[in-house]
Amino acid sequence: MSESSTPSAADAGMVIIGGGLTAATAAETLRKEGFTGPVTIVADEPEIPYQRPPLSKGFLAGKEGEDALLPLPASWYPENNVTVLTGTAATTLDPAAHTVGLSNGTTLPYAKVLLATGAAPRHIPFPGVDLKGVYTFRTKADSLAMKELFTGGGKNVVMIGSGWIGMEIAATATELGNKVALMGLEDVPLSVAIGNELGTVFADRHKEAGVQFVLPASAAEIQGTDGTVTSVLTTTGVTLPADIVIVAVGVVPNVALAKDAGLTITNGIEVTSSLQTSAADVFAAGDVANAMHPVTGAYARSEHWANAIASGKVAAKSMLGQTAVLDDIPYFYTDQFDLGMEYSGFGALTKDAEVVVRGSLEKREFVAFWVLEGRVVAGMNVNIWDVQDGIKALISSGRTVDTAKLADPETPLEDI
């Protein structure tokens, strides 16, 4: 397509805006479900669609190659007549005209459009944040830069952010021989997500590996010489030497395109359980979508790998006019040193829940359940495997549980 060309409505097909796992999954599902019309993916990064979990895990550590990033091989797109416009941003969305304006000056008509625009790192204006050596972490380019810097070890790395991504990067950087100091606003890392007791399990493993925690604290100033970072002054008055500073303080959904188009925005693009937005023929999925979940009857936005897959499939089916509902239980996983963890459930419901543990926190082999008003709303297994199906079934059922049986490793989950 030349920059001067303007496709006609007769060319309209399915347009997917975004270059992540959601986009790839939706395109694949469209073809699997028999759609033979035009499918176009608009990806603003100079990459075919890729998935993000390996970026802070195996790919960053050098244990996985670039193939681990690809949900579909590069050859799949031409073989299935799917056009991928890499390095191209969607600049406008006109639901009335059913068109998408692109950064290359062209206009793309659509029959249905899927917004899979994802999320972007939250930026905090720390003094010195623009110094050379200060990074955020979200993209393949970010991971490649960190891999090059971490490999060989010997660097002082300051991590600002004590959530999942911050802890994963801290673990990988440490394993590669770097000295890591991590700060965050929590007393215990990960406590916002899983509470102090369980967060301590992860923190202790990091401490054993040599990670220094400065908690609770943030950056008062990122300091440098000749434009390059040299240290971080914390809000607690500690000066941390720094060759590399990584700011990982969460993400914000990329809603600008949807907002300018007049779609309903509430903590992301508000969608039904079928991922339909407030505009006809416009759908949203993945990190950016705030979807009504039929299990809880509340809106929820999930920033994790499993949701990208599940919502990509549902969106594609909905775009084809099929009956499809996003009712999967949210799921994610993490790997930190020798700790492997899987989590399913609704984090928003865990704040006032009782935590029930089966197994041993001391041995770091356990399953934790969050029980609210007698019902399991989330579950997490650490170094114990093949229990996720049972955890998800408990959550989906909504049935009242016996917490004594829940804590008993000898009682099968299906019998609770």
> Can you list the residues of the chain whose pLDDT is less than 70?
1-10
Per-residue model confidence (pLDDT) at position 9: 55
N residues, the chain = 416
Predicted TM-score (pTM) of this structure: 0.93
Could you give the C-alpha distances from 340 to 89, 152, 181, 386, in angstroms and in order? 37, 25, 22, 12
Q: Give pLDDT tens digits for 228-257.
A: 999 999 999 999 999 999 999 999 999 999
Per-residue model confidence (pLDDT) at position 4: 29
In this structure, how many other beta carbons lie within 10 angstroms of the beta carbon of residue 73? 10
Helices (H), 119-195: 140-150, 164-175, 191-194
Per-residue model confidence (pLDDT) at position 251: 95
Q: What gap in Å lies between CA 67 and CA 54, rounded to an integer?
A: 10
Per-residue model confidence (pLDDT) at position 10: 55
Angle at 184 between CA 159 and CA 45, to 5 degrees: 50
How far is Cα of residue 371 from the mean position of the Cα atoms in its chain? 25
Q: Which bin fits 240, alpha (ψ -120 to 50), beta or left (φ > 0)?
A: beta
Per-residue model confidence (pLDDT) at position 174: 98
